[in-house]
């Protein structure tokens, strides 16, 4: 574990040097602008508009960064041949992959913390009221980005960069829309197709479980069992993908 933490530290520093977190600064400026517009010109509840935009930006930004940094989890090291130096030392392949995931996960945590701090500060500044679901929304957004990171990282060990990104985006879109699709008349009237969609949950990630923005903005209430269940579901899925990545990398020919 000590070796994994060391690799995680250098991975974090490497990503920070690439200035990827400047994304949070630019989006923060965008949040300031949209909050001003909402506060000045929106009829009704401008704080809700600001929170809606902030949570949406937080999710899309985190997912985008996860894909951007996760797709090259191994390819950059192979191209620069640094991976050969690392695994030739007394560092196991498992420790290497785990360290990479920990380091990249730390980048996502920093991004979510920065943007959520800006979002909630602006929301509070224009009179938004505290809702216990807001911290849950931020936490689930973080888990969503970590799940995307694990997903694209696993794909990157099996295929090229472009295909890994495409597979991840497709599964992300499907995972967010499958719940709505199952409630349509088209699916309800076709039991066979509905059974296929229900089987989706046992194999592929159901991202919609992590999106509670509508509840935060309009209903202000979610059963605690749903929140805890979504959290456990995501953590288990992330761990399963990390273990799968380790399994694949241990059998990968680096020659």
Give CA separation, 118 vs 27, 33, 57, 114, in Å: 9, 12, 11, 6
d(CA 195, CA 198): 5
At residue 159 the predicted structure's pLDDT band, cuts being 50, 70 and 90, is: confident
3-state secondary structure of 35: helix
At residue 44 the predicted structure's pLDDT band, cuts being 50, 70 and 90, is: low
Reported as a single tens digit per residue, the pLDDT across 79-93 is 666 665 665 567 777
What pLDDT is attached to residue 75? 66
CB 15 within 8 A of CB 103: yes
Average pLDDT, the chain: 80
Q: Residue 177 pLDDT > 90, yes or no?
A: no
* Average confidence (pLDDT) over 169-192: 78
3-state secondary structure of 173: helix
What pLDDT is attached to residue 144? 93
Smallest Cα–Cα separation from 102: which of 244, 238, 236? 238
pTM value is 0.86
**Torsion 85-16-142-66 (CA) sign:** negative
What pLDDT is attached to residue 232? 93
Smallest Cα–Cα separation from 205: which of 134, 158, 143? 143
């Amino acid at each position: 574990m000590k070796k994994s933490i060391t690799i995680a530290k250098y991975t974090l520093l490497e990503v920070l040097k690439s200035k990827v977190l400047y994304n949070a600064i630019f989006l923060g400026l965008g949040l300031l602008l949209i909050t001003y517009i909402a506060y000045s010109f929106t009829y009704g509840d401008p704080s809700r508009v600001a929170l809606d935009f902030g949570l949406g930006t937080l999710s899309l930004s985190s997912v985008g960064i996860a894909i951007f940094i996760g797709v090259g989890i191994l390819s950059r090291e192979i191209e620069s041949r640094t991976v050969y130096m690392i695994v030739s030392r007394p560092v196991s392949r498992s420790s290497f992959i785990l360290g990479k995931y920990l380091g990249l996960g730390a980048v996502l945590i920093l991004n979510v913390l920065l943007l959520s701090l800006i979002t909630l500060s602006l929301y509070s500044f224009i009179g938004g009221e505290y809702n216990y679901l807001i911290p849950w929304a931020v936490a689930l957004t973080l888990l969503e980005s970590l799940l995307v990171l694990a997903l694209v990282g696993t794909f990157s060990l099996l295929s090229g960069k472009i295909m890994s990104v495409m597979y991840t985006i497709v599964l992300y879109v499907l995972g967010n829309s499958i719940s709505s699709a199952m409630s349509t008349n088209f699916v309800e009237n076709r039991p066979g197709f509905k059974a296929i969609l229900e089987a989706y949950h046992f194999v592929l990630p159901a991202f919609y479980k992590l999106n509670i923005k509508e509840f935060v903005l309009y209903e202000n209430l979610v059963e605690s069992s749903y929140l805890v269940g979504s959290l456990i579901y995501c953590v288990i899925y992330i761990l399963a993908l990390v273990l799968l990545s380790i399994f694949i990398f241990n059998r990968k020919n680096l020659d």
